[in-house]
Structure 1
Amino acid sequence: MAHPSQLGFQDAASPVMEELLHFHDHTLMIVLLISIFILYIIMAMVSTKLTNKYILDSQEIEIVWTILPSTILILIALPSLRLLYLMDEVNDPHLTIKAMGHQWYWSYEYTDYEDLTFDSYMIPTQDLSPGQFRLLETDHRMVVPMESPIRVLVSAEDVLHAWTVPALGVKMDAVPGRLNQTAFLASRPGVFYGQCSEICGANHSFMPITVEAVPLKHFESWSSLMLEDA
């Protein structure tokens, strides 16, 4: 999860998030090089080194400032399109979960199981146990097996919501009357926190998302207990 004075993104917990971090660093380096180059040009012009009319009216300069931006856009666009394709692709999921947004909580339905459904509410501050996080902990976590492709069907019961877990590189709008889908693969065990990322009303900031990735045998034990309780 995020921590005070943090710079950058949360640690990646999925292959897609790792790719997003690499693309961010790649783009940030390009932006840094452009900023340094522009700053140098400005300083050189202030010092009158680049104000000669033969430089300002040069055909070579016009060629450079046409080709260089095009090259930069290609260097950004190609990895961006590749990443968009990876994020949109859902390949043979091992488990499908339907996440439904409500005002203001989430409900989950494991569609591969019969009667495995539950609501997930934020734990009030006064009820938190030591070590739990304010505004992020829920009474029921969405438990998934690690290293397994998970498909999440996202919709809403009332107004627009957004199902978002930054460490997994997942953000999908929950639209009433529409079923969107996204996918992720948790590459390591852990508890990953998210929040609704769409301004959905008065308690928008009080509908967190908690995803717990566990080994497969632990997930099977958890699902058996949940089915017995149901």
Structure 2
Amino acid sequence: MWNPDTYLSFADHRGRPFFDLLSRVAPDAPRRVVDLGCGPGNLTGTLTQRWPGAVLEAWDFSPEMVAAAQRRGLPAHVGAIEDWTPQPDTDVVLSNAALQWVPTHRELVVRWAGQLPAGAWIAFQVPGNFDAPSHHAVRALARREPFVEPLRDMPWRDVGQVDDPAQYAELLTDAGCAVDAWETTYIHQLTGETPVLDWITGTALTQVKARLTEELWQRYRQAIIPMLAEAYPRRADGTTFFPFRRVFVVAQVG
């Protein structure tokens, strides 16, 4: 379902939260660094520059994304985040915009805190925009004909999919970690005829597209364009402002 080229079309915008997260992770000389949900590997590759002496481990559930990462020369593996278990020498676990896809991620991060060695770091960033106009439009259109039947049982990501920073801080503090948690709303300045649609096609609409025939997918795209244009109007200079809230958590195991 995942298209690396579509995802990378907004690489600069999607990369900024990764580096904002990474800036708060400060191990001296990590032995093993793990990227869970590595995607096409464009960001994962920077970890070898940050920590050249560390063993790098990368996972993603999408074979297409893993293949793209492997073409970059990265040791990427196909696997679900839920199935990952830390090796004894794991000192850094990173996950950038991936844990929102895992309903049990709260239990997972607590489990990792108990499995990782003292001093290890857990750092993740998840979108906090599930109540945004873009997501409302995606769900509202799915309730209309002729999309109702193929999208009837869609497991929509909703507001409760992720927690706020305080909830994650409480969770991991109780697990024995020192926690730094915060949120940021980025105002992405996008260009193009359908910039918001182009953005969510690479993320929020991946499952929608997978359930529709090509004809229905094209009809869905045409129907959502005016809905997104109303929610995110184009400015006089031709750009579109796209606010995007994200939640960040950095925890060091005690």
> TM-score normalized by structure 2?
0.28
TM value normalised by structure 1? 0.30
Larger radius of gyration: 1
